Amino acid sequence: MSDERPPEETDSGRRGLMTGSLMAAGLLTSYGAAGAIGARYLFPSGPGKRAWLFVARADELADGASVSYRSPSGQRVAIARQGLSGKVEDFVALSSTCPHLGCQVHWEAVNARFFCPCHNGTFDPAGLPTGGPPKEANQALPQFPLKIESGLLYIEVPVETLGGATAMQLDDTPPSPGAGHDPCLGPDCCGGELA
Amino acid sequence: MSLSAKQAVIGILGFLFLLSLVFVQYTEVTRRRAEAGIGEVHVIVPDSSKACVDCHVQSTPAIIDHWKSSNHATTGVGCYECHLADPKDADSFDHYGKSIATIVTPRDCARCHQQVFDEFEASHHAAAGNILASLDNFLAETVEGARMPFAPHSPTPGDSVDMVNGGASVAVGCMQCHGSKVAIEGTDGSLITMDELAPDENGQPTNLDAVAKILRTDDGRPVFHASTWPNTGIGRLNLDGSAGSCSACHSRHDFSPRRARQPENCGKCHLGPDHPQKEIYEESKHGVAYRDLKDEMNLNGKEWVLGEDYSQAPTCATCHMSGHMRNGGKVTHDPGERISWTNRPPISLRMDTDINGAVIKEKDPAVRRELVADTWQAKRQRMKDVCSHCHTSTYLNGFYKQYDDFVVLYNEKFAKPGTMIMDALKTNGLITAKQFDEEIEWTWFYLWHHEGRRARHGASMMAPDYAHWHGMYEVAERFYQELIPQAREHADHAEEEGETEAANAVRKVIDDILARPEHAWFENE
Amino acid sequence: MGVLVRWIQERVPITGDELRELTNEPVPNHLKRWWFCLGGTPAYLFVVQIVTGILLAFYYQASPETAYESVRYITEEASFGWFVRSLHKWAATLMVASVILHQLRVYFTGAYRKPREINWMIGMCLLVCTLTVGFTGYSLVYEQLSFWGATVGANIADGVPVVGGLAKQLLLAGEEYNDRTLSRFFLLHAAVLPTLMVILIAVHVTLIRLQGVTEFVDEKHPEKDRGSFNFFPDHLYTELIMGLVIMILLTTLSTILPATMGPPADPLTTPEVIKPEWFFYVAFRWLKLFSGTAAILSLGFIVFTMFVWPFIDAFLEKRWPRSEASVWIGIVGTLLIIGLTLWEAAVEH
**How many Å apart are CA B136 and CA B67, to the nearest integer?**
36
Residue B153: CA atoms inside 13 Å, Cβ hemisphere, count?
2
Q: Give contacts of B51 with chain A, Cβ < 8 Å.
A: 194-195
Q: Looking at beta carbons, which residues of chain C come within 8 Å of A2?
A: none
Q: Do C244 and B10 touch (CB under 8 A)?
A: yes
Q: Residues of A with CB below 8 A from C244's CB?
A: 26-27, 30
DSSP character at residue B198: -
Burial category of B375 from C-beta neighbours within 10 Å (exposed 0-12, middle 13-18, buried 19 and up): middle
- Is the separation of the CB atoms in B290 and B319 below 8 Å? no
Residues of B in contact with A192 (CB under 8 A): 96-97
C229 min Cα distance to partner chain A (Å): 5
Which pLDDT belongs to residue A46? 67
Distance of alpha carbon B309 from alpha carbon B332, whole angstroms: 17
Partner-chain contact A195 B51, CB within 8 Å: yes
Q: Residues near C282 by Cβ (< 8 Å), separated by ≥ 6?
A: C337, C340, C341, C344
pLDDT at res. B34: 72
- The helix (H) or strand (E) run that includes residue B370 is helix B365-371
C345 touches chain B (CB under 8 A): no
CA distance B67 to chain A (A): 11
The answer to whether A70 touches A156, Cβ cutoff 8 Å, is no
Q: Identify from B1, B17, B40 which residue to disrupt to test chain C contact, counting C C-beta atoms within 10 A and taking the largest count.
A: B17
Helix (H) or strand (E) holding B184: strand B184-185
The dihedral of CA B15, B16, B22, B28: what is its sign?
negative
CA dist A28 and A26 (Å) reads 6
Share of chain C above pLDDT 90, in %: 46
What is the residue extent of each domain of chain C?
Answer: 27-214+221-270
Residue B14 corresponds to which amino acid?
A: G
- The answer to whether the CB of B228 falls within 8 A of the CB of B176 is no
- Which three-class secondary structure state does DSSP give residue C89? helix
Helix axes C281-289, C325-346, angle to 10 degrees: 90
Single-letter code of the amino acid located at C219: E
Asked whether the beta carbons of A74 and A59 are under 8 A apart, the reply is no
Interface of C with A in 34-73 (CB under 8 A): 51, 55, 58, 66
Using CB atoms, pick whichever of C241, C252, C254 lies closest to residue B9: C241
pLDDT over 90 at C131, yes or no: yes
What integer best gives the mean pLDDT of chain A?
76
Return the residue of B nearest to C245 by Cα. B13
Q: Domain spans of chain B?
A: 52-150+164-254, 257-393, 396-523
* DSSP string of C161-207, one letter each residue: TTTHHHHHHHHHTSSS--TTHHHHHHHIIIIIHHHHHHHHHHHHHHH
User: Alpha-carbon distance B249 to B289, whole Å?
Assistant: 23
Nearest to B8 by CA among C43, A11, C30, C25: A11
CB–CB of B84/B219 below 8 Å?
no
Residue of B11, B25, B98 lying closest to A19 (CB–CB): B11
CATH fold of the domain at C27-214+221-270: Cytochrome Bc1 Complex; Chain C (1.20.810)
C 247-266 → B contacts, CB under 8 A: 247-248, 251-252, 254-255
The predicted structure's pLDDT at residue C219: 63
Confidence grade of residue C186 (pLDDT, cut at 50, 70, 90):
very high
Using the predicted structure, report yes or no on whether residue C143 has a pLDDT greater than 80.
Answer: yes
Partners of chain B (3+ Cβ pairs below 8 A):
A, C
In chain A, the residue whose alpha carbon lies closest to the alpha carbon of C230 is A7
Best residue in B12, B18, B19, B21 to probe C by mutation, most C CBs within 10 Å? B21
Determine whether the interchain pair B15/A30 forms a contact, defined as Cβ–Cβ distance below 8 Å: yes
Q: Which of B362, B363, B360 is nearest to B379 (CA)?
A: B360
pLDDT at C95: 96
CB contact under 8 A, C82 and B20: no
Mean pLDDT of C335-345: 92
pLDDT at residue A178, as a whole number: 37
Long-range Cβ pairs for the range C330-336 (8 Å, 24+): C330/C104, C330/C107, C330/C108, C334/C104
Query: Phi then psi for A7, rounded to 5 degrees?
Result: -60, -35
Q: Do C252 and B20 touch (CB under 8 A)?
A: yes
Contact across the interface for A182 and B59, Cβ inside 8 Å:
yes
Cβ pair A170:B53 closer than 8 A: yes
Looking at residue A60, its pLDDT comes to 83
Contact C199, C122 (CB under 8 A): no
- Tell me what pLDDT residue B44 has: 82
State yes or no: pLDDT of A11 exceeds 60.
Answer: no
Q: Is C81's CB within 8 Å of A41's CB?
A: yes
Query: Distance of CA B315 to CAs B64, B280, B327, Å?
Result: 30, 12, 17
Q: Which of B2, B8, B47 faces A72 most closely, judged by CB atoms?
A: B47
Cβ pair A74:B47 closer than 8 A: yes
When CB atoms are compared, the residue of B3, B14, B27 closest to C234 is: B3
Residues B234 and B131: beta-carbon distance below 8 Å: no
Size of interface A-B (CB pairs under 8 A): 143
Neighboring chain A residues of B219 at a CB cutoff of 8 Å: none
Chain A residues touching chain C at CB-CB below 8 Å = 1, 3, 7-8, 23, 26-27, 30, 34, 37-38, 40-43, 45-46, 164
B341 neighbors B317 (Cβ within 8 angstroms)? no
CA–CA distance, B483 with B28 (Å, rounded to integer): 79
Q: What is the pLDDT of residue C227?
A: 65
Sign of the C-alpha dihedral, residues A9, A13, A14, A17?
Answer: positive
Ranges A138-147, B41-50, B444-453, C233-242, most confident: B444-453
State how far the Cα of C87 lies from the Cα of C49, in Å rounded to an integer.
Answer: 8
CB B480 within 8 A of CB B486: no
B283 close to B465: Cβ distance less than 8 angstroms = yes
DSSP-derived secondary structure letter, B246: G
pLDDT for A163 beyond 70:
no
Tally B–C CB contacts below 8 A.
46
Secondary structure class of A42 (helix, strand, coil) = helix
Helices (H), B128-180: 135-138, 168-169, 175-178
pLDDT level of residue A164 (50, 70, 90 thresholds)? very low
Q: Which of A3, A38, A40 sits opposite C29 (nearest CB)?
A: A3
Q: Which residues contact B356 (CB under 8 A, 6 or more apart)?
A: none
B9 interfaces chain C, CB cutoff of 8 Å: yes
Distance CA A98, CA A118 (A): 9
In Å, what is the CA distance from B74 to each residue of A72, A125, B68, B292, B425? 12, 31, 8, 32, 63
Is the separation of the CB atoms in C38 and C105 below 8 Å?
A: yes
Please enumerate in sequence order all residues whose Cβ is within 8 A of that of C185, keeping only pairs 6 or more positions apart, or say none.
C62, C136, C139, C140, C150, C171
Considering only CB atoms, C78 lies closest to which of A8, A23, A41, namely A41
The 3-state DSSP class for residue C265 equals coil
Q: How far apart are CA C74 and CA C53, in angstroms?
A: 12
Closest Cβ–Cβ partner in B74, B75, B96 for A192: B96
Residue A16: which of C67, B2, B192 has the closest Cα? B2
Kindly state the helix (H) or strand (E) to which residue C250 belongs, with its residue range: helix C236-256
* Residues of chain B under the 50 pLDDT cut: none
- Calculate the CA B155 to chain-centre distance: 40
Does the CB of A4 have a partner CB in chain B at under 8 Å?
A: no
> For residue B24, which residues of chain C lie inside 8 Å, CB to CB?
80, 83, 251, 254-255
Q: Are A167 and B43 in contact (CB under 8 A)?
A: yes
Handedness of CA B374, B379, B381, B382 (dihedral sign): positive
Q: CB atoms < 10 A from the CB of A47, how many?
A: 7
Determine, for residues A7 and C228 on separate chains, whether the beta-carbon distance falls below 8 Å.
yes
Burial B286-318 (b: 16+ CB within 10 A, else e): bbeebeeeeeebbbeeeebbbeebbbebbbbbb
Q: Is the pTM of this model over 0.95?
A: no
For residue B42, what are the contacts with CB-CB under 8 A and spacing of at least 6? A49, A51, A159, A166, A167, A168, B74
Please name which of A85, A83, A93 lies closest in space to residue A56, comparing C-alpha atoms.
A93
Does B23 reach chain C within 8 Å, measured CB to CB?
A: yes
CA distance A105 to A124: 12
Q: Does B16 touch chain C (CB under 8 A)?
A: yes
Looking at C58-80, list the stretches that DSSP marks H as alpha helix, in order from N- to C-terminal side. Answer: 67-76
Per-residue pLDDT tens for A68-127? 888 887 788 888 887 788 888 888 898 888 888 888 888 777 888 888 889 999 998 888
Helix (H, G, I), strand (E, B) or coil at B20: helix
Distance (Å) from the alpha carbon of B17 to chain A's nearest alpha carbon: 6
Q: ipTM score here?
A: 0.79
Q: Which of C229, C245, C248, C249 to mutate to test the interface with A (most CBs of A within 10 A)?
A: C229
pLDDT above 90 for C290: no
| Backbone dihedral region for residue C135 (phi beyond 0: left; psi -120 to 50: alpha; all else: beta) | alpha
Which chain C residue shows the shortest CA-CA distance from B3?
A: C234
Alpha carbon distance A7, C193 (integer Å): 39
